[in-house]
Amino acid sequence: MPNISVTINGITTSVREGVTVLEACELAGVEIPTLCYHPDLSLAGNCRMCLVEVEGWRTLAIACVTPVTPNMVIHTHSKKVRKARRTVLKLLLANHNVNCPECERNRNCELQELSEKHNITTNEYQTTPKPVSVEEVSPGVMRDNSRCIMCTRCVRTCEELQSVAVIKPVGRSAEIKISTFMDRGLDGVACAQCGQCINRCPTGALFETSEVRQIWEALEDPEKFVVVQTAPAVRVGIAEALGLPTGRSTGQMVASIRGLGFDRVLDTDFSADLTIIEEGHELIGRLGQALQAGDPNVHLPMITSCSPGWIKFIEHKYPHLLSNLSTCKSPQQMFGALVKTYLAEKEGIDPANIISVSIMPCTAKKYEKERPEMNASGYKDVDYVLTTRELASMIEEAGIDFEHIAEEKFDRWMGHSTGAGVIFGATGGVMEAALRTAYEVVTGHEIPFEGLNVTPVRGIEGIKEAAITMPDRMADGFEFLAGVTLKVAVAHGLSNAERLMKKVSAGEADYHFIEIMACPGGCLGGGGQPIPTSPEIRRKRAEAIYAEDAALHFRKSHANPEIQLLYAEYLEKPLGHKSHELLHTTYTPRKD
């Protein structure tokens, strides 16, 4: 597209034809306030916050949807624009629940920020606020429509990014609200609990179901032995949640969590590695059955099961593919099952007194821990789940100086991290970790990628594919794989997952193994991660994840010394009797 000339606030500049007024202003360094706009979503043009004046126009223009035209003359803070923006803001505030101190999003609210920037101190349009109505309660996600400004970012997230589409505008005009089918609430419909809507809500209308209070109580109870696991993506998100730049901060995170009073600070990376061992052997087993025994009933492609939002999605939408899922529990639940068995034995603590907490980038994990089958230890495997954001709020409440705290290390037995475990936090990471291990198991050699970096499965592409051809000489027992080309695919975001599942259902996919993560970018873009999110923010988090991987001594799951110890002392062998009891699970078909 050719460049055209436009004038913004008196300064003429050249921009690419086809960009919007908003983009042109951004390029020119002019900030336009927005609310319904989000870089991950389609354009709605609803909130009318980004109004600008275009010379020759009868009405004001909406910057986010209006394309620039040659010689357009734009004013972004003329009297007319300023009045309109202030009025729009006041209208949104007029019946908004402005009990900000009670709101989860206090100090991180786009409406609050804009009100501050525009100096809204009085409101001539003030009216009765919408009643507080936590109408949609579910294990992971809550909605309070008294804080909703009808920007529809959640609706577009649910439909466009996630193909779930369970929340929609209902009614019209004064009665309009965002709701679910027959107003059943998120718990009564096919919500995946992914929390992506929370990440894109500009206000506090959507938030996670909090368990912070229960965790403080557990920490304050001397009888309880409180064990915490931290997921890979938390360590690249927590700094952001505390207002610091994105980056690796594992040491500070561990120190801060220990400072909160947890008895053991452990790492979900450990059980990520364990997942790789179990899942890798499961895959090799299925391949063997198919290729060696010629069994036509083997369920291939095998699909990963780490992401509970994805699990709920497939249970609702593709129940006929449940046998394709790996039977492995997610790392969180494997960890939980081992905390109250293996760890309890090693620490010599009565599992009844253990409180098992996990810190996750995820809201669906809150749902997952409530699944009735998740009690293999004889207790609830995971008692409480905190999001990255909730952890940040606890660190703030405790007055811990995260930025300057001296770095510390995880506790032992289930606290050893490998690079393979860390990259679980990024889309493609499970696949990469699985390939690093599986390839070595079946060939006896390291995977032939420079620095073990399986780059074809990295990156932000919605669906990634790779094919790896096995050498002619295999390790003993795996000769059936000689010369076989292993085909894999990776999808992140449930819309991409749906595209892939349609292909699988139609028999158009000849993959052997598929990794799916419910959230765009993988766990680093999870529904429990810091707000805001954008492709740029997720790219930075991914960089931090891969930097952490590269910096670690052990980068392959099977090399994790604590994993080796676990098998030697407790589990005996992958897919063994104890593994099946503690680490594997079943799935439930659900109605759409």
Partner 1 sequence: MAAGKRLLLGDDQPSIGEALIKAMDMSPADVVFEVRESDIRGRGGAGFPTGIKWNLAGAASGDHKMVICNADEGEPGTFKDRVLIEKMAWKLLEGMTIAGYAIGSSHGIIYLRAEYPYLVPILEKARQDLISQGLLGDDIQGRGFSFNIEIRSGAGAYVCGEETSLIESLEGKRGEPRNKPPFPVNSGYLARPTVVNNVETFAAVPHILLGGAEWYQGLGRDDCSGTKLFSISGDVENPGVYELPMGAALRELLELSGAKDIAAVQVGGASGSTVTPDELDKPMSFSALPPGGSVVVFNSSRDMLDVLENFMEFFVHESCGQCTPCREGNRRLLDIIRSIRAGEIASRDDLKPFFLLADVMKAGSKCGLGQTSPNCFVDIITKFIAFPGDKEGA
Partner 2 sequence: MEILTDVNRELGCIPEEAIIATASAVGVSNAEIYSVVSFYSFFSIKPRGRHIVRLCSTISCVMSGSAEVLEAVKGDLGIREGETTPDGRITLETTSCIGLCDQAPAMLVNDEPHTRLTPETARAIIAGLE
Which residues are known to be catalytic? 279, 282, 306, 326, 365, 368, 373, 523
Q: Tell me, rounded to whole angstroms, the distance of Cα 227 from its chain centroid.
A: 23
Residue 34 CB, nearest approach to partner 1 (Å): 13
The binding track of 57-76 with respect to partner 1, each residue x by CB under 8 A or -, is: --xx-x--xxx---------
Q: CA–CA separation, 355 vs 341, rounded Å?
A: 13
Write out the DSSP string of 147-184.
Answer: G-----HHHHIIIIITS----EEES-GGG-EEE-GGG-
44 touching partner 2, by CB under 8 A? no
Token pair for residue 224? 């309880």
For residue 310, the minimal CB distance to partner 2 (Å) is 18
Q: From the list partner 1, partner 2, none, which binds 452 (C-beta under 5 to 8 Å, kind-based)?
A: none
Q: How many residues bind partner 2 (CB under 8 A)?
A: 17
Q: If residue 22 lies in a helix (H) or strand (E), which one and from where to where?
A: helix 21-27
Q: What angle do the packed helices 79-94 and 110-117 form, to 10 degrees?
A: 140
Q: Closer to partner 1 by CB, 124 or 536: give it.
A: 124
- DSSP reduced 3-state for 420: helix
Question: Looking at beta carbons only, is 172 or 404 nearer to partner 1?
Answer: 172
In angstroms, the CA 549 to CA 417 distance is 9
The nearer residue to partner 2, 166 or 260, going by C-beta atoms, is 166
Q: Which residues of 220-229 are buried (b: 16+ CB within 10 A; e: fewer)?
A: eeeebbbbbb
Rg (CA), the chain: 25
Helix (H) or strand (E) holding 311: helix 308-317
In angstroms, what is the minimal distance from the CB of 66 to partner 1? 8
47 near partner 1, judged by CB under 8 A = yes
Residue 151 vs 422, nearer CB to partner 2: 151
> Which of residues 91, 94, 165, 484 is near partner 2 by CB under 8 A?
165
Of the candidates 68, 22, 15, 25, the one whose C-alpha atom is nearest the C-alpha of residue 45 is 22
174 lies in the binding site for partner 2 (CB under 8 A): no
Residue 448 sits in the site that holds partner 2 (CB under 8 A)? no
Binding segment for partner 2 among 169-177, 362-370, 398-406, 551-559 (CB under 8 A)? Answer: 169-177
* Interface map 175-204 toward partner 2 (x if CB under 8 A): ----xxxx------xx--------------
The answer to whether 205 contacts partner 1 (rule: CB under 8 A) is no
Please tell me the number of Cα atoms within 13 Å of 345 on its side-chain side.
8
Indicate which single residue of 56, 119, 172, 245 sits in contact with partner 1 (rule: CB under 8 A). 172
DSSP 238-259: HHHHTTSPSS--HHHHHHHHHH
- State whether residue 510 is helix, strand or coil: coil
Q: Does 16 bind partner 1 (CB under 8 A)?
A: no
To partner 1, the closest distance from the beta carbon of 550 in angstroms equals: 45
Which positions lie near partner 1, rule CB under 8 A?
43-49, 51, 59-60, 62, 65-67, 80, 83-84, 87-88, 91-92, 94-95, 124-125, 127, 149-150, 169, 171-176
Which positions lie near partner 2, rule CB under 8 A?
159, 164-172, 179-182, 189-190, 592
